[in-house]
């Protein structure tokens, strides 16, 4: 971990790379080995047992097998943990693999199958909880209802802030207090550790779909959870048993993405504020969802985040038909799911990412979500203006 005196911009460049100079290399190495030599039977057996039960690779042992441990993945985990002010991080093959591992570790594995979920949530997470596929039972509630929703068999509280897709902000500290000792998982995908560090506000786990801002270029799928070492042991055990470890090539790309993460987030955030302000003046837009333009969110934003981020959503005055025309009318924006890349994306949540969500919790059909990238703000505004006209 880097010195606490370093800014997050400096940490992003150097975290997880501390040993490279000792090895005589400058670029991040990639270890693609699926199996590894064993020093001897006893050392190999000890290494296998240690990692299969959630421990780290023993210093004098072997990585044994790539389902259990990989040094490229471990370096990325170290870098992300540094940015999140966490003791550890555990990386998975996707964001949903991360969510699944947290549920298996905290709920199924602890025989506490009940989950309290604060809506709105990412559609995939909401859908997984609603199906009960992993043996969990979910109670959905608003922020001020968390304490009353907690039961003796509650194993986890899940929230997302800023929330997908309409950017509601949730006070993490308030939810943690209401949870009363029940572990709290915060989906930190939209904010990234550049703008928000949930563990500093009492959360147990900070989860990222690393596919988004951390990767940042639309070319890698992954997930990661920052947490204490004690929680990491539980998550790594689930990962080892279920086989959900991130591929080393993905870990390399995500670790490389960390170096430019602060610069990308800050630049996209500046543009998002300008785009949101402009959208707020357009007759075709009934409402703009953006923390930087919402006075009701000002308190949480100031106390918990270092900026409003680069996601914007709008409610169209013309309803679904207007939303359809906007998403099909843009040329610079790409009509596609996902977010957090260098290029700007636009999508209709109710028809896509939140389609599996129950109707009462699904975003309304007149809502469109925009992920603002690194293009010039005047070009993005011109593209939207042309499509809206």
Place of tokens 């985040």: 305
Q: Nearest to residue 90, comparing CAs of 231, 192, 218?
A: 231
Rounded CA gap, 348 and 362, in Å? 11
Q: Nearest to residue 221, comparing CAs of 197, 247, 198, 195?
A: 247
Structure tokens at 254: 């995500």
Rounded CA gap, 99 and 389, in Å? 41
DSSP designation for 307: S
Q: Nearest to residue 86, comparing CAs of 248, 251, 230?
A: 230
Catalytic residue among 17, 48, 122, 252: 122
Helix-strand-coil percent breakdown of the chain, rounded to 5? 45, 15, 40
Place of tokens 């915060």: 186
CB proximity list for 42: less than 8 A, separation 6 or greater: none
Distance of CA 300 to the CA centre of its chain: 19
67 carries an active-site annotation: yes
Structure tokens at 66: 């790539």
65 carries an active-site annotation: no
Catalytic residue among 56, 67, 256, 325: 67
Catalytic residue among 17, 112, 212, 362: 212
Catalytic residue among 126, 187, 366, 383: 187
DSSP secondary structure letters along 322-382: HHHHHHHH-SSSEE-S---SSS-EEE-GGGTTTTTS-GGGSPPTTEEEEE--SS-HHHHHH
Catalytic positions, written as ranges: 67, 122, 187, 212
């Amino acid at each position: 971990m880097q010195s606490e005196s370093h800014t997050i911009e400096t940490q992003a460049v150097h975290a997880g790379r501390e040993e490279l100079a000792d090895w005589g290399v400058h670029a991040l190495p990639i270890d693609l080995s699926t199996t590894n030599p064993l020093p001897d039977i006893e050392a190999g057996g000890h290494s296998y047992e240690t990692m299969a039960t959630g421990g780290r690779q023993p210093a004098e042992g072997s990585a044994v097998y790539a389902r259990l441990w990989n040094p490229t993945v471990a370096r990325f985990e170290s870098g992300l943990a540094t940015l999140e002010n966490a003791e550890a991080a555990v990386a998975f093959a996707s964001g949903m693999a991360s969510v699944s591992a947290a549920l298996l570790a905290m709920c199924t594995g602890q025989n506490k199958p009940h989950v309290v979920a604060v809506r709105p949530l990412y559609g995939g997470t909401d859908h997984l909880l609603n199906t009960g596929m992993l043996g969990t039972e979910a109670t959905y509630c608003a922020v001020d209802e968390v304490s009353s929703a907690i039961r003796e068999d509650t194993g986890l509280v899940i929230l997302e802030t800023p929330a997908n897709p309409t950017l509601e902000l949730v006070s993490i500290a308030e939810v943690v207090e209401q949870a009363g000792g029940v572990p709290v998982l915060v989906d930190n995908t939209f904010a990234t550790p550049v703008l928000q560090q949930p563990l500093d506000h009492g959360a147990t786990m900070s989860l990222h779909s690393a596919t988004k801002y951390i990767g940042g270029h639309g070319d890698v799928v992954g997930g990661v959870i920052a947490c204490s070492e004690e929680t990491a042991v539980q998550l790594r055990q689930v990962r080892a048993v279920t086989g959900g470890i991130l591929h080393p090539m993905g870990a390399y790309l995500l670790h490389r993405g960390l170096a430019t993460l602060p610069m990308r987030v800050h630049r996209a955030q500046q543009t998002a504020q300008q785009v949101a302000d402009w959208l707020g003046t357009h007759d075709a837009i009934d409402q703009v969802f953006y923390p930087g333009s919402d006075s009701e969110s000002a308190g949480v934003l100031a106390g918990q985040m270092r900026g409003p981020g680069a996601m914007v959503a709008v409610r169209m005055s013309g309803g679904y038909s207007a939303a359809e025309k906007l998403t099909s009318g843009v040329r610079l924006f790409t009509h596609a799911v996902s977010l957090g890349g260098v290029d700007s994306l636009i999508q209709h949540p109710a028809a896509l990412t939140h389609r599996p969500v129950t109707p009462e919790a699904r975003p309304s059909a007149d809502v469109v979500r925009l992920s603002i990238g690194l293009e010039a703000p005047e070009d993005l505004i011109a593209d939207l203006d042309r499509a809206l006209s």
